[in-house]
Amino acid sequence: MKKSLLSFITLMAVVISPALALQPVQDKLLAKRAATVDAYRNLAERIKGLQINANTYVRDFVAESDEINTELDTFIKGIRVVGEPRYFEDGSAEVTVEVTLSELVQQLQRIYTIYHHLFHDHVYSFDQMVTFNRLKVIRETGHGAPRENPGLVQGLAQANAAAPVPSAGIPGWENVMARGRMMAERAAKVDAYRNMAERIKGLQITANSYVRDFVAESDEISTRVDTFIKGMRTVGAYRYLPDGTCQVDVEVAIQEVVKELTTIRDWYIHHDPYYHWYHVDLKTTKFEDVVNFYPKKRIRVTGEGVPPEKYMASGSQPAAIGNPMPQAPEWVGQIITAKGTGIAPEGQTGTEAKLMAARAAEMDAKRNLAERVNGVRIDAQTTVKDLAVQNDSIHAEVQTFLAGAQVSEPHFLEDGSAEVEAQLPLNSLWERIKKYQM
């Protein structure tokens, strides 16, 4: 009897061991697939928010028929993934996808050629998209997580040489699972869009009228404005605060808002025979006057989100035996930023001049950011620069950290110069150098 029982246990161990060994790999694939789906979903939202001409957007073209919508979705799902997926210690993954504007224009023209018989009185031309859309490359990142199982996270991280999670090292986030972190990020993004909508609707047009008066005229106008807002990109990295709150910023140029509102107004003047019944006189409404009441060039808002309680681990990880972990500095949850300006070389004009000015601004911003990072204090007597000078490994870690700087889209001034902002989350810096403090 004992021999039979021993044989059974041995057999079960042989069967179960491969399954346990495969679990981290399966979770890795699940996280990658979820991140890829999220990336394509984000990219679809961005593409449908692009302008075709002064009065039409890609979303209007797609809405013409289900066949066109399906054709565009098929194209989007075939768009290339940039680089390799990025895996984090909590089992989550990031995937980035991108497509050039010229490739998108070609595909839209191809789809229109196939289904042109569906359009009776509306002719689409996509050549003007390069004029109305500043970006040459449309890039989006998606996030995904496997099934939540805290016991498997450590094995997944070891199997894939995973990077520290974005919230690593920040008090209050030690027990947040991957899915909880991503849900907090999504909640922060939704909140930022909601706050942006409130800010835009609160813009004053005249002494007695506001944008919200125009938006309230119809559900269609409200939907178009909301779609415009959801097409905005977040600015910089997510911030993870010690109180368990996640923050993110959304920003838009005031001139882009004016152009969008004017486009919507003009469309209704030409296509809605009942527009003269509106409470707002569309023909006399000039959204350009918004700048008289809002002198700033850009609108920036912040959204906040928190992870759901069900995605919090039940307890803290046991402390490591040996040297205690160094206490995190107060700045660990902050974002460090620096601005840069650039001008094109003398004699260059047009698109090439803008490109060179933007590159010069990016280099200036990264140089200024490096100076600010080097000045960050580890303690009262020591800066990051001091540590980097004393230790080649720390110097390499700091350089790798600086190489990951996120740079905003360039803002071009009237004199032809360009401005950008570079930023980095300081918790990532702490994760790189804290091991040298033990």
Share of residues in the chain with pLDDT > 90 (%)? 9
- Closest CA relative to residue 58, chosen from 40, 79, 77, 73: 73
pTM of the model: 0.60
Q: How confident is the prediction for the chain on average, in pLDDT?
A: 79
Helices (H), 375-425: 384-390, 392-403
What integer pLDDT is reported at residue 191 of this predicted model? 92
**358 pLDDT exceeds 90?**
no
Q: Is the dihedral of CA 25, 27, 28, 30 positive or negative?
A: positive
Q: For 168-193, write each residue's pLDDT tens digit.
A: 767 778 788 888 888 888 889 989 99
The arithmetic mean of pLDDT across residues 25-53, rounded, is 85
**Helical (H) or strand (E) element with 257:** helix 254-271
For residue 134, pLDDT over 90 is answered with: no
pLDDT range class, residue 40, cuts 50, 70, 90? very high
- How far, in Å, CA of 110 to CA of 258, rounded? 32
Residue-wise pLDDT for 64-81, tens only, equals 888 888 899 999 989 989
